[in-house]
Structure 1
Amino acid sequence: MTRPKAVIVVAILALVFAGIAAWLTFHYLQKEMDKTKAVQPQPLVVAAADITIGSAISEAQLKVTSWPKDSIPAGSTADLKSLVGRVAIRPISSGDAVTESKLKPKVGAAGTGFMTYIVPPGHRATTVAVNEVAGVAGFITPSDRVDIVLTTAIPGSPNENISKIILQNVPVLATGQITEQKEGKPVIVPTVTLDLTPDDSEKLVLAGSKGSLQLLLRNIADSAPIDARGATIARVLAGTPMQATPAPVAVAAPAKAVQKRPARKKVAAAPKAPRATEPKAPAPAPAKGHTVTVIDGGVRTTKEFVLQ
């Protein structure tokens, strides 16, 4: 090969290798640039404080912070004003991103009801009306757990009532008020919305139509079931000393006519066996004299006269 041809071949190979190196360098730098853009922080609205379920979000509960672009959750926003006044349907912890899936849909959108988001799948929200006493004096709040007592007449014994726990450890979804008409006037009645299975909902609705309901507030750490036998007035008063009642006076029954029994026939007594002859006592000896007692002036004198 002549010298000019060798120079041309070397130049061509150098250009090829240079092109390959440039192409590899470009791709490497492109990847590094993409990585840099991915981790570049972006503005995002997060919770500045804990937001409880069912509460309307205020501006003080939100803040804008930097968030890695490649990990921004879907449904989030950087516009803080657009989230003010929205209602949280899930608890939002401080620092969490506020997304649409955690908020009640805007007015006019499908599924704008609040309760439908907090009812567990397969359960039903059941509302019952209670009075101030049955509602534990207003101390029941959402997320509490209660037992439900029914007081009604015993089937077959309409004059005797029984109180029995029919549902236990029931979660409370919400509390509220409804207006009813009583004696022609509107009356505000407290209500409690409970989280129940369909079977328990049927029991509660039927129980409410047959008697009065009472709610028993449980301790937050007490979830163990109990054996409820029910209470009747006889069990409540068992062992209580009662005032003794006077014994009823016995009334004499009228005397019954005495029936005469037929006279029994006398049976002739059997002749007695003759007794053995007993020896006779000796006859007293004939008296040989007489004794005379003479009393003269208090002096007593006895004289004996002998017969001749």
Structure 2
Amino acid sequence: GAQRDTVVVAAMPLKFGDPLSADKLREIPWPAGAVPAGAFKTTKEALAGEGTRQALQTISANEPILTSKITGPGQRATLSAVLGEGMKAVSIRVNDVLGVAGFVFPGDRVDVLLTRTARGDGGADQSFVDVLLQSMKVLAVDQVADESKDSPTVVKSVT
């Protein structure tokens, strides 16, 4: 007896860069008071505008399509589309040790540490580690921004 609305969901799993089309979306009934912010009520609304929209992250089948998870009409799925207003992306050079042996993937959260060595009063080197940033979202690993990537690969940079 609860009031119903509709929400557009993925009809099939979508990954980063997949274009949205009518056959990949469907409308399902949803409780009227619980529609997620940024959700679309109709497939026509989700596909409206000049040009196609693309997925900015992995979207599971039956998961609501939200404005934060897709590009605007005609935009490409690039890192600039993933960044919020006022945010910046920085790439850091890594190796097999710094990149956690390839087990860091897009979408993971990491701490950024600075390790430095200074010569002490007695002439011996002392190492220090400072936490620069905590819980930073990994946007891309090398040139891969697809969050569904799940096989470890040793890479040269992390963004």
- TM (norm. structure 1) is 0.32
Displacement of 1:57 after TM fit? 4.7
Structure-2 residue corresponding to 1:88: 55
Displacement of 1:63 after TM fit? 5.0
Looking at structure 1, the residues matched to 17 and 113 of structure 2 have their Cα atoms a distance apart, in angstroms, of 31
Displacement of 1:131 after TM fit? 0.8
User: Which of 128, 143, 160 is residue 92 of structure 2 equivalent to?
Assistant: 128
Task: Please list every run of at least 4 consecutive aligned residues from structure 1 whose deviation after the TM superposition is greater than 6 angstroms.
Answer: 155-158
Displacement of 1:100 after TM fit? 7.7
Matches for 1:91-102 after TM superposition, within 5 Å: 92-95=59-62, 102=69
Aligned length: 128
Matches for 1:63-212 after TM superposition, within 5 Å: 63=25, 71-72=41-42, 75-77=45-47, 87-89=54-56, 92-95=59-62, 102-104=69-71, 112=76, 114-154=78-118, 160-167=125-132, 168-176=134-142, 190-193=156-159
CA contact (8 A) 1:47 1:96 kept: yes
Distance 1:163 1:49, change over 3 A: farther
Give 2:138's aligned amino acid.
V
User: Which segment is superposed worse, 137-146 or 89-98?
Assistant: 89-98
Looking at structure 1, the residues matched to 120 and 158 of structure 2 have their Cα atoms a distance apart, in angstroms, of 31
CA contact (8 A) 1:77 1:99 kept: no
Looking at structure 1, the residues matched to 27 and 109 of structure 2 have their Cα atoms a distance apart, in angstroms, of 38
Looking at structure 2, the residues matched to 192 and 57 of structure 1 have their Cα atoms a distance apart, in angstroms, of 25
Looking at structure 1, the residues matched to 136 and 67 of structure 2 have their Cα atoms a distance apart, in angstroms, of 30
- TM (norm. structure 2) is 0.55
User: What's the C-alpha RMSD, in Å, of the aligned pairs?
Assistant: 4.3
Distance 1:125 1:155, change over 3 A: farther
Distance 1:161 1:75, change over 3 A: farther
User: Which of 46, 50, 62 is residue 24 of structure 2 equivalent to?
Assistant: 62
Displacement of 1:160 after TM fit? 1.1
Q: Helix, strand or coil for the counterpart of 2:101?
A: helix
Structure-1 residue corresponding to 2:14: 51
Looking at structure 1, the residues matched to 18 and 156 of structure 2 have their Cα atoms a distance apart, in angstroms, of 22
Looking at structure 1, the residues matched to 76 and 17 of structure 2 have their Cα atoms a distance apart, in angstroms, of 15
Q: Helix, strand or coil for the counterpart of 1:75?
A: helix
- Residue deviations 1:61-102, cap 9 Å, x none? 8255688xxx53663349xxx96xx63025545346758875
The structure with more helix, counted as a fraction of residues: 1
Displacement of 1:118 after TM fit? 2.0
Distance 1:140 1:189, change over 3 A: closer
Distance 1:159 1:48, change over 3 A: same
Alignment gaps of 5+ in structure 2: 1-7, 30-40, 144-153
